Amino acid sequence: MTNMNFSLRIRFLLRLALCLFVGMGLPAQSQTLDDKALYDWAEKAFPEFFPGHQADQKTGSFTYRYYPASQNALGVSDGVVYAIGPSSGGALLKIDTLAALQCLVFAERCVAPVADLAVTPLKYGNNATFTLTGSGLEQPGIAIHTTSKCPSPKLVTSVDARAKNINCTVSATGTFTVTVSDASGAVVLSRDFSVPEPQVLIQTSLGNVLMQLNPTAAPITVRNFLSYANAGFYSNTLFHRVIPNFVAQGGGYTIGPAFKTPTFAPIKLESNNGLANLRGTIAMARTSFADSATSQFYFNLVDNAFLNYASAVSPGYAVFGAVVQGLEVVDQMAAVPTGTAAGLANLPMTDIVILGIQQVQ
């Protein structure tokens, strides 16, 4: 390997990365890799290049393994493969999308001027990367068009002239169409994509709760909640108000307890959205002022019809999702003895800690 010229080294690593993506039986458009499975597969398939790894290393979302005998390293971050070492001529190689990789390694897949369009897994409220591949992407007038579900697409840095990456932010769920047109405006490629309903995993000291959110009924509320969740705001906050046969409320106090100042402005109340405060649903807490919800939310432990929208005078509270898995964890919260401390009534005497909230779909 050390005697190969640089272009062959790059080609080898591209082929290796392709095997890592495809050889493990991953879905055709998948970009999410299981790090350990990737490393184990590489070591088995190419023992001469990846022998005797050291302990796995992790920095943020980036994980990697180093192989002292060959001085090579493999890394993964958010579904992107990285390789560095003598095998790459000392350069850090980044394989950004599977579609680009297939085009670069198998040139016959890029023969058509506009050959294909693929996308990384779509998540509501997140940035999506579409990869357009083909031999004629440098022609003037080639344009990509998306719907309002992923508006204002922007061209971003790409790895090759035959593979162009386009970003937009997913703003709705369901199926939408992306088209590519040539200089005359004629559509040369059309693909349909689907955005699933967003799901979040709430990790607590009592166990995990999987929630499915409803951005169609409560778009402002869901965007607000995801903004706090994706920013890491909820990590190490408490369920600070738990009343059996009523609600379990959290997201506003840290261990102590100490009030945690919200980081975003209060939102408009979306209680008149057709969703009811039923057992297992999640809704936003607020003050007596309707448009005052920020970070705090609550689980309904039972059906609480009196919390629903009734009128402009009695607007109720906005439901924006429901438990998919882990309702028994929510029920366990109601079994924890409560008291009054630090000015808070119905405070669990044993901390119920939110370890983190992550969007998983």
Average pLDDT over residues 12-26: 45
Mean pLDDT over the full length of the chain: 84
- Residue 54: the pLDDT is 81
Does 2.60.40.10 match the CATH number of domain 107-195?
Answer: yes
Asked if the 199-359 domain carries CATH number 3.30.565.10, the reply is no
Share of the chain above pLDDT 90, in %: 54
pLDDT at 253: 97
| Domain locations along the chain | 6-95, 107-195, 199-359
Calpha distance 94→17 (Å, rounded): 10
HSE of 342, CA atoms in CB hemisphere, 13 A = 13
DSSP 56-82: -EEETTEEEEEETTTTEEEEEETTEEE
pLDDT tens digits for range 169-193: 999 999 999 999 998 999 999 999 9
Q: Are 351 and 238 in contact (CB under 8 A)?
A: yes
Alpha-carbon distance of 255 to 238, in angstroms, equals 6
Question: Which stretch of DSSP H or E encloses residue 220?
Answer: helix 219-230
Residue 127: pLDDT over 80? yes
3-state class (DSSP) for residue 282: strand
Query: Rounded CA gap, 294 and 301, in Å?
Result: 21
What does pTM read for this prediction?
0.72
Give me 305's structure tokens.
């019809």
pLDDT band at residue 81, thresholds of 50, 70 and 90?
low
